[in-house]
Amino acid sequence: MQLNYFNRPYFENGAIRKLSEVLIAQQINNPLICTDPGLSSVGMTDKIKDLISSNFSSSFFEETPANPTEEAVMNALKVYKDNNCDGVVGFGGGSSMDLAKAVALMANHDGDLMDYSVNEGGYGKITETIPMVAIPTTAGTGSEVSVGSLIVMNDGRKLIFASPHLMPNAAICDPELTIGLPPVLTAGAGMDALTHCIEAILSPINDPPAEAVGIDGIEKIIKEESLIRACEDGQDKEARWGMMMASTEGAMAFSKGLGAVHSMSHAIGANQELGLHHGTLNAVILPSVLRFNQDHVGNKYSRIARAMGKNESINLATEIEKLNERIGMPSNLQEMGVTEDMIPDLIAHAMTDPSNITTPRVPSLKEWEKLFLEAMHK
């Protein structure tokens, strides 16, 4: 089926077989396929090669890091130009899709990549990019339907790039591509999707349709137990379908913004030495931010609880902690290698993150410190 939403993604088991059709529709004859070493090592890129008809040429960039970097973008851009490519395909998790968006941007925009970041006032500088197709192989980021991209710059900052022009021209969502994804990656990606749904709902921006989509995503993840089932049985096609739909819905929902969870996870994710998974960071940070926001969001916690299939009186932060434990997420940031001496730099990064624009309660300097410490030691 094809969803009548945003970029009208193809969404069904086996949808990957539509790749050649999609490339033709986008007038891409020589795509650069951006993916990561993990997918390459298990033969997933061979599947792409087999699916692209002989009418196409193609080149591959298979070195996308766990958190895509400016250096990786420039290296991929060189492959694009050296091979006279005319479009980009992001094939993988959010990192590969975000890198592909940045390549599509820089392929026809002058200047430095940093000039186009939201952080540096670059939102309005982004015009139409070269054609880009997104194919997620995890169920978490929803980057295939989002207008954003996150890149770690050479100066160490993790910056946000956002524009309607960065939404992929087409997307192929094939839940079967996630079958066999290890439980730890399934869990981390799934908690990314859940955090997107929750933070979007809690954003003070008045956008009822986006909130409704977020509510449906929460129902699929928690009430229907798609996340737990996918973690416990990676071959459960129904659960995999539910998680990929919830992931797509999470990104549709956060068109109304995110919040402090993402400000904090972006700050930590910029540390290339730690190399931590974005969704896993969100999972660990989310309970602390939920406690912080509790008295500043009206009746929204009750709505989220109902979507989870829980009593409205539950402690939402505690429920998330129980879920984290069940699916094997770390208990705190300290377990993940974050140390107290990092906190001043993390606060400085988090305070400038554009996600703060739509957080329901902007922390003070002392409150940022308290949030990081709580997430470290709970």
**For range 127-156, the mean pLDDT:** 96
More confident residue, 101 or 50: 101
CB atoms within 10 A of CB 372: 25
% of the chain residues with pLDDT over 90: 91
Q: Which two tokens stand for residue 213?
A: 């989509």
Given this model, what pLDDT does residue 113 score? 97
Our CA dihedral for 49, 53, 56, 60, rounded to 10 degrees, sits at -10
- Average pLDDT score over the chain: 96
Domain spans, the chain: 10-176, 182-377
Report pLDDT digits (tens) over 55-64: 789 999 999 9
Tokens 């090592």 belong to which residue?
41
Burial 290-303 (b: 16+ CB within 10 A, else e): bbbbeeebeebbbb
Dihedral of alpha carbons 64, 70, 74, 75, sign: negative
pLDDT-derived band at 5, boundaries 50, 70, 90: confident
Report pLDDT digits (tens) over 346-360: 999 999 999 999 999
CB atoms within 10 A of CB 54: 6
pLDDT-derived band at 4, boundaries 50, 70, 90: confident
Report pLDDT digits (tens) over 64-73: 998 999 999 9
| CATH label, 182-377, candidates 1.20.1090.10, 1.20.210.10, 1.10.3210.10, 1.10.10.10 | 1.20.1090.10
pLDDT at 15 over 80: yes
pLDDT-derived band at 254, boundaries 50, 70, 90: very high
Which phi-psi region, left, alpha or beta, contains residue 84 (left: φ > 0; alpha: ψ -120 to 50)?
A: left
> What's the CA gap between 5 and 14, in Å, rounded?
20
Cα 287 from chain centroid (whole Å): 19
Report pLDDT digits (tens) over 142-190: 999 999 999 999 999 999 999 999 999 999 999 999 998 999 999 999 9
pLDDT-derived band at 44, boundaries 50, 70, 90: confident
pLDDT at 267 over 80: yes
| CATH label, 10-176, candidates 3.40.50.300, 3.40.50.80, 3.40.50.1970, 3.40.190.10 | 3.40.50.1970
Q: Which helix (H) or strand (E) holds 103?
A: helix 94-106
> What's the CA gap between 150 and 162, in Å, rounded?
9
pLDDT-derived band at 54, boundaries 50, 70, 90: confident
Dihedral of alpha carbons 158, 164, 170, 176, sign: positive
Given this model, what pLDDT does residue 41 score? 86
Given this model, what pLDDT does residue 366 score? 98
> What's the CA gap between 99 and 205, in Å, rounded?
28
Q: Structure pTM? A: 0.94
> What's the CA gap between 359 and 285, in Å, rounded?
14
